[in-house]
Amino acid sequence: MKANRIYNFNAGPAALPLSVLEEIKDSFINFNGSGMSIIEVSHRSKWFDKVINDAVERTKRLLKLDENYHVLFIQGGASMQFCMIPMNFLHDGKSADYVDTGTWSTKAIKEARIQSKQITIAASSEDKGFSYIPQNVKFSNNAVYAHITSNNTIKGTQWRTFPDANGVPLMADMSSDIMSRPLDTEQFGLIYAGAQKNIGPAGVCMVIIRDDMLNMVPDGLPSMLKYTTYASKNSMYNTPPCFAIYTVQLVMKWLEETIGGLEKMEEINLKKAKILYNILDTSGFYKGTAEPDSRSIMNVTFRLPNEELEKRFIQEALENGLGGLKGHRSVGGCRASIYNPTSLEAVEALTDFMKNFEQKNG
């Protein structure tokens, strides 16, 4: 644990790299010689032009995106995307497929239905409390898109390989695992991610959209709810969330220059997850809640023998510099979110604490 800092396992807003935080601290007084704070510079200035363009270019390099893809920054979080996607692409007589793997995909389905859009639930894991990712999903050949949530923060499940949608564009909510591993982006028509889980602070949603999807956007939508508005104006139709975009830029820089790319990031993430899941698999005290073949490498969810022990575990962990381990209020239990910035040192400190706690209370 660093001086005055805990090991942060919050699910979102979540940990950021310490080097990024230190750079932000310096930029709050005088950003790049501007004589102004980063939160004071105009979004029309040369300083912010460089920030947003660098964020876009680094994102494209990390994900190996070709010129058919646009990187957009939109306010409203992933929850805004739940309604924007059907609004932009599901026109009269058209249908889309959704896979329901819990909370966030369930909310995306709800937002499409609110608009009376025609959707089909292609698969669901509700039968087992959303503890697994459905396999061999059959999508409709005539669907406009197929929507999935790549990682479920609450249930601790993750698509380890993405489904074959038979040429139908995949739309993916990647809020909690974007940039955690390399992607074959060609099958995706649109990827979106609220920044506050794995790539930045709350306040901005990164949207990666393919050209052919932009061509489907109708003219008769409100300007701020059309993807074409953001694509045509480099995400600056109005004043964007400048500070959040700046932080995302610094995280992309950290991924490229400090970590060395997404292949290296995945290696680190797999190692962290293996250490933590090994505790769950070898202990009779802790029990993982996700089925082994669907386990997330970002959010490790587990239970203790009873709720009283869980409360004590969370409190004593915090007293030992390990924060954010309380499970989501909808499911209870415990959760360790081990996003990209969460260090191997942090995970080892957590597992040491878990072993000691089990010895005292098992």
Catalytic residues: 104, 173, 197
> Measured in Å, how far apart are the chain's first and last C-alpha atoms?
26
162/146 Cα distance (integer angstroms): 11
Buried-exposed string 116-134: b where 16+ CB fall within 10 A, e elsewhere: ebebeebbbbeeeebbbbb
Please choose, from the candidates 57, 58, 266, the residue with its C-alpha nearest in 3D space to the C-alpha of residue 182: 266
Between CA 101 and CA 133 the distance in angstroms is 7
> 72 and 209 in contact (C-beta within 8 Å)?
yes
Rounded to the nearest angstrom, the gap between the alpha carbon of residue 323 and the centroid of all alpha carbons in its chain is 20
Question: d(Cα 348, Cα 265) in Å, to the nearest integer?
Answer: 17
Grouping H, G, I as helix, E, B as strand and the rest as coil, residue 296 is coil
Tell me if 317 sits within 8 A of 8, measured CB to CB: no
State the amino acid at position 333 in one-letter form: G
Q: Which two tokens mark 220?
A: 């008769």
H helix count then E strand count, the chain: 10, 14
Peptide bond into 13 cis (omega under 30): yes
CA atoms of 182 and 64, how far apart (whole Å): 9
What 8-state DSSP symbol labels residue 187? G
Whether residue 120 contacts residue 145, with contact meaning beta carbons closer than 8 Å, is answered with no
Is the separation of the CB atoms in 257 and 22 below 8 Å?
no
Reduced to 3 states (helix: H, G, I; strand: E, B; else coil), residue 128 is helix
The answer to whether 295 touches 273, Cβ cutoff 8 Å, is yes
